[in-house]
Amino acid sequence: MLRFLKSLWDLIVYIAAIFVLTWLIVHYVGQRTEVNGTSMYPTLESGDQLITDKLSYRFRSPERFEIIVFPYEHRANTYYIKRIIGLPGETVRIDESGTIYINGKALTENYGSEPISYAGLAGQEVRLGADEYFVLGDNRSNSEDSRFGDVGNIQRQDIIGRAWLRIYPWKRFGMVE
C-alpha cells in the first residue's frame, strides 16, 4: 500500500510539474496566434497559425521589418499582427506616391504587396517617441495600422512578441519573415 501511495504521489507531482511548465511557457516564452484577415498578405494569410516568440524582446529591442503581435486597444481579445517600419526616435512620412521616408531618406523595402494609396497620419511627418514603433501591414491597401488614429504608434510595453513560426497550414510550415 505504501508503494502505491508513493507512486500516486509521484504521478501527481509529475502532472503538476507539467502544468506549471506549460503555464510558464505560454505566459513567458511563446503563444499560439491565429491570423484573421488579409492585412499581412502575401506574407501571412487568414487562418495561418503562428507561434509568437515572447522571450526575445526581454533581451533585445524589436528591429525594423520584424513582424510583431500587439493588442488592439479598442476591442477585447483582439490582436494585430504588423511589420515594424519605424523605430524609436525616428521620423516617418509617406508621400503621395506611396514612398516611405525614414528620417528624410526613402526606405528600401519589398514587403508591401502594392503601393500605399493612403498615407493617413504619415502624410505629415510622424516623430516616434523613445519607446514607440510605426507599423504597417504588408497588404497596404487593406491594413489598419499606424497610419490610422485608432492604432497609431505602438508602445514598446504593448508588444507581446514577434511572429516567429508558422505551424499551420502544414504546406507553409516555417519561419515567418
pTM, rounded to two decimals = 0.84
Which one-letter DSSP state was computed for residue 38? S
Q: List, for residues 10-32, the tens digit of each pLDDT value.
A: 788 888 888 777 776 666 667 88
Q: Is the pLDDT of residue 67 over 90?
A: yes
Q: How confident is the model at residue 24, as a pLDDT?
A: 67
> What percent of the chain has a predicted confidence (pLDDT) above 90?
59
Q: List, for residues 107-146, the tens digit of each pLDDT value.
A: 998 887 788 889 999 999 999 999 999 999 999 989 999 9
DSSP 101-168: EETTEE------SS--S--GGGGS-EE--TTEEEEE-SSGGG--STTSTTT-SEEGGG--EEEEEEEE
> Dihedral of the CA atoms 120, 49, 108, 70 (nearest 10)?
50
* Domains detected in the chain: 2-175 (2.10.109.10)
Tell me which residues are annotated as active site.
Answer: 39, 82
Q: How far apart are CA 89 and CA 12, in angstroms?
A: 52
Torsion-angle region of residue 110: left (phi > 0), alpha (psi -120 to 50) or beta?
Answer: alpha
Q: How confident is the model at residue 75, as a pLDDT?
A: 78
Q: How far apart are CA 126 and CA 85, in angstroms?
A: 12
